[in-house]
Amino acid sequence: MTAERPANPTSRSTAAPGGLLAGRRILVTGVLTPKSIAYAIADACLDHGAEVILTSFGRAMSLTERSARRLGLDGPVLEMDASRPDQVAAVASALRERWGGLDGAVHAIGYAPEDALGGKFMTTPWESVAVAMQVSAFSLKTMAAELAPLMPDRGGSLVTLTFDATVAWPLYDWMGPTKAALESIVRYLARDLGARRIRVNSLAAGPLETIAARAVSSFEGLKDAWGHVAPLKWDSADATPVADAAVFLLSDLSRAVTGEMLHVDGGFHSQGGAPAQIQLPEGPGE
């Protein structure tokens, strides 16, 4: 068991007294602007009663701090470059001191150098691939190794964000193999942390308009494809469906789910192409 939690100054006063994550301590990485997927996740976690701490790094810090204020968080944003094991360890120490433990963490970190994206797959140098892999995939293992010891006997939950890497995407280039590595790391972490009741899962989101998405030059085309193919349609300006699924994966409702990739993409992944124009039978009506 972990030590008793001190009162946490990072909870906004509007946090629900109950909720799926009532009293759960959640670390959220990857909040840059209010458009960040992680922003919607942090917001949903707070709505469900969680206590939330954000991380950021380097020049992104001031943007994250602004987002934190908008979320109603008044505690400090912790510095964590996910490619720096010393900074990940320092975050674990800060969480131990502040909360005495941790119930869940969200890894919403993605980066690839410019020459690893946009049609340069055949010429990208290993050095750029290595950076993309370390920041976007290996960092999940780094975080898991430091954060798992903070999780109580009842277990915990790690959630990451992917863009379904079981297929190749236009111009996504080395982010594709990087996401494939991330999805595999999810399965290996699920294997190694399952005995401690720590679950590890990914959310395969459809295209969402964020800063990271701007780096993917095929984004507009992907967005259009989603609009035609996804049976439930898809709003690329709305990350809240992804955030709601993250709440599920962070909560006890998903207590028997691990090593999973859950698509939150309007059903795009399940279709082989855009639907033909057919006349559907009338429903029963009211």
CA distance 100 to 64: 24
Q: How far is the CB of 201 from ligand NAD (least distance, A)?
A: 14
Query: Which of residues 102, 109, 245, 247 is near ligand NAD by CB under 6 A?
Result: 109
User: How many other C-beta atoms can be found within 10 angstroms of the C-beta atom of residue 153?
Assistant: 8
Q: Does 83 bind ligand NAD (CB under 6 A)?
A: yes
Residues between 245 and 264 with contacts to ligand NAD, criterion CB under 6 A: none
Q: How far is the CB of 178 from ligand NAD (least distance, A)?
A: 9
Query: Which of residues 57, 99, 169, 174 is near ligand NAD by CB under 6 A?
Result: 57
Pick the piece of the chain touching ligand NAD (CB under 6 A) from 23-31, 67-75, 117-125, 271-279: 23-31
Catalytic site residue 35?
no
User: How many other C-beta atoms can be found within 10 angstroms of the C-beta atom of residue 202?
Assistant: 27
Binning the chain into helix, strand and coil, the percentages to the nearest 5 are 45, 10, 45
Q: Does 110 bind ligand NAD (CB under 6 A)?
A: yes
User: How many other C-beta atoms can be found within 10 angstroms of the C-beta atom of residue 1?
Assistant: 8
Tokens linked to 182: 């991330």
Query: Which of residues 161, 225, 243, 250 is near ligand NAD by CB under 6 A?
Result: 161
Burial of 62 (0-12, 13-18, 19+ CB in 10 A): exposed
> Is the distance from CB of 155 to CB of 199 less than 8 angstroms?
yes
> Is the distance from CB of 230 to CB of 206 less than 8 angstroms?
yes
Amino acid in the structure at residue 195? A
Amino acid in the structure at residue 271? Q
Catalytic residue among 172, 188, 223, 233: 172
Catalytic site residue 172?
yes
> Is the distance from CB of 98 to CB of 141 less than 8 angstroms?
no
CA distance 94 to 91: 5
Query: Which of residues 15, 205, 261, 262 is near ligand NAD by CB under 6 A?
Result: 205
Catalytic residue among 179, 188, 223, 233: 179
Pick the piece of the chain touching ligand NAD (CB under 6 A) from 1-9, 26-34, 147-155, 252-260: 26-34
Pick the piece of the chain touching ligand NAD (CB under 6 A) from 36-44, 69-77, 146-154, 248-256: 36-44
Q: Does 82 bind ligand NAD (CB under 6 A)?
A: yes
Amino acid in the structure at residue 228? H
Q: How far is the CB of 203 from ligand NAD (least distance, A)?
A: 8
Angle, helices 139-147/175-193, rounded to nearest 10 degrees: 20
Pick the piece of the chain touching ligand NAD (CB under 6 A) from 74-82, 165-173, 183-191, 252-260: 74-82
The residue among 106 and 155 lying less far from ligand NAD, judged by its C-beta, is 106
Tokens linked to 152: 């109580």
Q: How far is the CB of 110 from ligand NAD (least distance, A)?
A: 3
Residues that are catalytic: 172, 179
Q: Footprint of ligand NAD on this chain (CB under 6 A)? A: 29-32, 36-38, 57, 60, 80-83, 108-111, 135, 161-163, 205, 207-208, 210-213
